[in-house]
A = this chain, B = another copy of it.
Amino acid sequence: MHTFKELVAGFGDRFTVKHFPETPATLYEPGEYFLSWGGKRIRPVMCLMGSELFAEITPDAYEVATAIELFHNFTLIHDDIMDEAPLRRGMETVHMKYGTNTALLTGDVMMIRAYEYLSRINTLYLSRILQLFNKTAREVCEGQQLDIDFEKMTDVSMDAYIDMISLKTSVLLAASLEMGAIMGGASEGNCRHIYEFGKNLGIAFQIQDDYLDAFGDPEKFGKEVGGDIRQNKKTFLLLHALEVANTDQKKLLQELMTNNPADKVQQVLAIFKTCGVDEWAKKLKDKYLQTALTHLQDIAVLSSRKGPLEELAAFLIQREY
């Protein structure tokens, strides 16, 4: 058994290789550029952890983990094009550095490369892994499209928003764990529980992300707070505020979002607090975290094997606020 940190370090080392042929460099160099930035590699590590919960990690688990990380990077490259993002982690995005057409193709070929890693695994479970991978990949696209749609809508229900967030980010975390579990020989019931653990953990993480962007300690959070508010981004907090605010608060919120006064962030935060949005968000996050942990409990393996997944939950979800 390996700790979460050992797996992060181990996967990071293995992943730091060239993933594409040398030529044509105009196609493959942008892909290597993007992959060279590093990153937490959470999803592939979740695949390894899903596997090690049930059995020793095999070379196949590394193939699938690599496929997952490449797929995730494909989505980032295409998302950056759609968002017209100039920077990611302080680096020039692929489309800014190499042009949109090359970035589009770099994303395409990165997804194909993911399938090349997948294609190498044992045929015993190739179909099953491939089907889960495909379903998840399609759901991630659905989530991205819904996100685009929601940005243009004035009225998005909380349920629809949770569905979107779940598709856009949580299903890939969930599927990463389950693909590992499948390779580890897990039963269908255990596969379902580990999937739900990942999915609910992912939603809790997103709620926390929205919370920290508004109420986080800038020093601990590592970035300026209020970015989502400044951009009128639909978040758990804003949607809930619009649901519970009285007529006057609602009117003020909408005025602030239209007129963008200098003290917009402070004023919106004040409404959020008056409406109890901060306490509500903490409770909602805890609800999803508890659901995740209950599914983890229900996985039928020795509880001593669950340590790394508990570490993962603690790493993703901070309890200090």
Contacts and interface: CB of A to CB of B under 8 A. Distances in A.
Nearest to A122: B127
Interface string A77-91: 010011000000000
A60 interface: no
A149 interface: yes
B123 A78 contact: no
A198 to B, nearest CB: 20
Contacts of A113: 138
Interface stretch (A33-41, A97-105, A278-286): A97-105
A117 to B, nearest CB: 9
A243 interface: no
B144 A105 contact: yes
B109 A82 contact: no
A141 interface: yes
B138 A112 contact: yes
Contacts of A310: none
Contacts of A156: none
A120 B127 CA distance: 7
Chain A: interface residue count, which band?
35 or more
A103 to B, nearest CB: 10
Interface stretch (A9-17, A129-137, A253-261): A129-137
A200 to B, nearest CB: 22
Contacts of A138: 109, 112-113, 116
Interface of A: 24, 26-27, 78, 81-82, 101-102, 104-105, 107-109, 111-113, 115-116, 118-120, 123, 126-127, 130-131, 134-135, 137-138, 141-142, 144-146, 148-149
21 contacts: A24-B142, A24-B146, A26-B148, A26-B149, A27-B141, A27-B146, A78-B104, A81-B101, A81-B104, A105-B144, A108-B108, A108-B141, A111-B111, A111-B112, A112-B138, A112-B141, A113-B138, A119-B130, A119-B131, A123-B123, A123-B126
